[in-house]
């Protein structure tokens, strides 16, 4: 594996299995480092295609989403890192697919618990094809000031504190992602910072080893020393011991193997990682630390002394380190002295000028939560709330609606009128819905729906084509009937004055008249509604007025009967007024807005849906109107 640098400021990655937070953290790191292009070239989300909106600094960008690994690699040939956030169940298959792509050089597997047999196959394929495998069970890696994988190094605040927005001189490798964050901070305090850091993962069989990365760091000129954090269990550290003994590593190595406390326990202890379990004396932390020390690595006596060992090793590379680390500006460096400039010229170590990282814009959601900003809302809702454990209709939890046996009428009363109406009111609403659900296939709405369904259109298209016919001439006269009946009744107009006044204005009386029904063939629906109201309503003032108007219109023509629109309109006025739960202003507003026509729309949708299903079930062909039913004329 050796070779050298695997990341740069131009590195781009493909991100498998969309996760918003780690991708946004990568993009925020890019902006912090002053990259010109985002490090995430594309997202692979099986079954999805399109774009995902994210932020690159203050700019909102659209990152392409692909459903297949092959398609993503083809679309983004310069993206050579594959970051796999798949679950342990599918991580192996998707990682192998990525390794087989010629454009992919590095694969990072985040998931824990990938079957060991699958991991061994991935390792064998990666080594045979000169590819780099990081993980499984890894947080990833980072090249300071250039590129990072997913959640590596944690939050932006931590990254700034660890000075990872610009390169230092230390190469770091660890098994633990969590301890990597700790060491990034430690290294930043006592050296000029990290150049590259890798967490190989805590599984028994990591895709790449500690020694793989140390040997790679050895070939990177910018890396002046290495820091290694191992752990008890396994024998990975011994490959580093052999490399040190064979003289393959020419730069200082400071190492510590954690887990020395395991000897305090009487029985074998399994620590956090799958591989963190000592299988014998050679796999103990003490044995590994001793072997590394004898091979030439700088190994402290305890973890507490690890920071001091790193500091002292770095200071030997930089004799004037104490002065250097206090210098921020380039021109100040020139004042340190000739000895430092000589070290720079000899290439032992280069000064790292401090730069002020740009401010990452805070997301609006977090800024609002912290009270830093206030933002206006874009929608107001008073009828329902889905923010809690369960949805609420007008403040009534869904569980309460079910437990109390509420019906459709009760739900309508909550969502439309924002209050629980008495049972006789909600039952009347349900009766209206049932009586208006359908009126046969010949009415205009049903006819339109049938024709549309037979044209092969979908349910919504067929339903909407029927609903669009609802208006003043078909089912949409309930509000007008209520409005005119209420105005006339409240003003004390006689039926004669009302009807003749409407005639003078050239307005048909809404709610009066039917194409089929007449004095001798009354609409049964109207009779049922009137019977219910007489039995349950405390007052039927408006309905009685509508009946008086009907008596006058029938004296003019036999078919000018009170139709279902007029019956519902007048009775709903009685419901609103008689319930005692609505003010006069609220009643006027309900009529004006169009609540009552809403009842017909809701009810007739049931029938129109039924006609759609009926035509599709019967497999009816495209409808063509017969010639003989058309009058062709000039």
Report, as residue numbers or ranges, the catalytic residues. Answer: 273
Q: What b-and-e string marks burial along 365-377, b requiring 16 or more CB atoms within 10 Å of the CB?
A: eeeeeeeeeeeee
Contacts for 530 with CB less than 8 Å, ≥ 6 apart? 543, 547, 567, 571
- In 370-477, alpha helices (H): 398-403, 408-417, 423-435, 444-454, 459-467
- C-alpha dihedral, 368 to 372 to 374 to 378, nearest 10°: -30
Count helices and strands (H / E) in the chain: 26, 16
Cross-sheet strand order for the sheet of 140-143: 147-148, 140-143, 194-199, 170-174, 225-231, 253-258
Instruction: Give the other-Cβ count within 10 Å of 268's Cβ.
Output: 10
Residue 527 token pair: 């009779």
- Starting at the earlier edge strand, list the strands of the sheet with 384-385: 384-385, 392-393, 396-397
Quick check: helix, strand or coil at residue 403?
helix
Pairing of strands 396-397, 392-393: antiparallel
Interatomic CA distance for residues 502 and 505, integer angstroms: 5
β-sheet bridge partners, residue 152: none
Angle at 181 between CA 176 and CA 182, to 5 degrees: 95
Q: Quick check: helix, strand or coil at residue 298?
A: strand
User: How many Å apart are CA 91 and CA 417, to the nearest integer?
Assistant: 52
| CA 345 – CA 404 distance, rounded (Å) | 84
Q: Give the span between the Cα atoms of 438 and 434, in whole angstroms.
A: 8
Distance CA 288, CA 295 (A): 11
Cα 180 to chain centroid, rounded: 29
Region of 328 on the Ramachandran plot (φ > 0 left; ψ -120 to 50 alpha; else beta)? alpha
**Nearest 5°: phi and psi at 172?**
-130, 140
What Å distances lie between residue 630 and 442, 621, 623, 627, 634, CA to CA? 17, 21, 15, 5, 13
């Amino acid at each position: 594996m050796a070779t050298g640098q695997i990341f740069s400021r131009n590195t781009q990655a493909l991100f498998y299995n969309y996760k918003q937070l780690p991708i946004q953290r990568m993009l925020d790191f890019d902006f912090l480092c002053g990259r010109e292009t985002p490090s995430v070239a594309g997202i692979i989300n099986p079954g999805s295609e399109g774009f995902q909106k994210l932020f690159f600094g203050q700019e909102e960008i659209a990152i392409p989403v692909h459903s297949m690994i092959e398609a993503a690699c083809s679309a983004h040939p310069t993206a050579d890192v594959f970051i796999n956030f798949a679950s342990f169940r599918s991580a192996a298959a998707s990682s192998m697919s990525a390794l087989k792509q010629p454009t992919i050089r590095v694969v990072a597997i985040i998931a824990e618990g990938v079957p060991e047999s699958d991991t061994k196959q991935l390792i064998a394929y990666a080594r045979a094809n000169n590819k780099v495998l990081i993980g499984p069970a890894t947080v990833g890696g980072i090249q300071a000031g250039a590129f990072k994988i997913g959640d590596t190094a944690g939050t932006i605040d931590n990254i700034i504190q660890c000075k990872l927005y610009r390169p230092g001189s230390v190469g770091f490798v660890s098994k633990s992602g969590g301890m990597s964050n700790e060491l990034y901070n430690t290294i930043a305090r006592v050296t000029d910072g990290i150049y590259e850091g890798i967490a190989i993962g805590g599984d028994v069989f990591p895709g790449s080893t500690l020694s793989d990365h140390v040997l790679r760091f050895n070939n990177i000129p910018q890396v002046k020393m290495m820091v290694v954090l191992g752990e008890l269990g396994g024998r990975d550290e011994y490959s580093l011991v052999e490399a040190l003994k064979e003289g393959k590593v020419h730069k200082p190595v400071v190492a510590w193997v954690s887990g020395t406390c395991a000897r305090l326990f009487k029985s074998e202890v399994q620590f956090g990682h799958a591989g963190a379990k000592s299988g014998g004396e050679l796999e103990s932390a003490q044995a590994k630390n001793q072997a590394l020390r004898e091979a030439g690595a700088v190994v402290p006596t305890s973890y507490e002394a690890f920071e001091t060992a790193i500091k002292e090793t770095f200071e030997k590379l930089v004799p004037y380190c104490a002065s250097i680390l206090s210098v921020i500006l380039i021109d100040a460096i020139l004042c340190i002295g000739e000895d430092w400039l000589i070290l720079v010229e000899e290439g032992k170590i280069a000064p790292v000028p401090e730069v002020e990282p740009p401010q990452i814009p805070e997301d609006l959601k977090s800024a609002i939560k912290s009270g830093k900003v206030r933002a206006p809302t874009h929608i107001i809702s008073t009828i329902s709330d889905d923010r809690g454990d369960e949805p609420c209709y007008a403040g009534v939890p869904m569980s309460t609606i079910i437990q109390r046996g509420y019906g459709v009428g009760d739900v309508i009363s909550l969502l439309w009128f924002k209050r629980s109406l008495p049972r006789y009111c909600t039952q009347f609403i349900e009766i209206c819905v049932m009586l208006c659900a359908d009126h046969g296939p010949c009415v205009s709405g049903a006819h339109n729906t049938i024709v549309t369904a037979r044209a092969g259109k979908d349910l919504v298209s067929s339903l909407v084509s029927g609903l669009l016919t609802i208006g003043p001439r078909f089912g949409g006269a309930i509000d007008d009937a209520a409005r005119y009946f209420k105005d006339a009744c409240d003003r004390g107009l006689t039926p004669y004055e009302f009807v003749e006044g409407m005639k003078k204005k050239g307005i048909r009386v809404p709610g009066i008249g039917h194409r089929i029904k007449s004095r001798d063939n009354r609409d049964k629906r109207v009779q049922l509604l009137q019977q219910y109201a007489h039995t349950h309503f405390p007052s039927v003032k408006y309905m009685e007025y509508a009946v008086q108007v009907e008596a006058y219109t029938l004296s003019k023509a036999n078919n000018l009967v009170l139709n279902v629109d007029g019956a519902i309109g007048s009775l709903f006025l009685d419901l609103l007024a008689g319930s005692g739960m609505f003010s006069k202003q609220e009643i006027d507003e309900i009529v004006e807005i169009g609540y009552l026509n809403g009842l017909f729309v809701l009810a007739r949708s049931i029938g129109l849906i039924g006609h759609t299903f009926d035509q599709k079930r019967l497999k009816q062909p495209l409808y063509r109107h017969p010639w003989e039913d058309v009058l062709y004329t000039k």
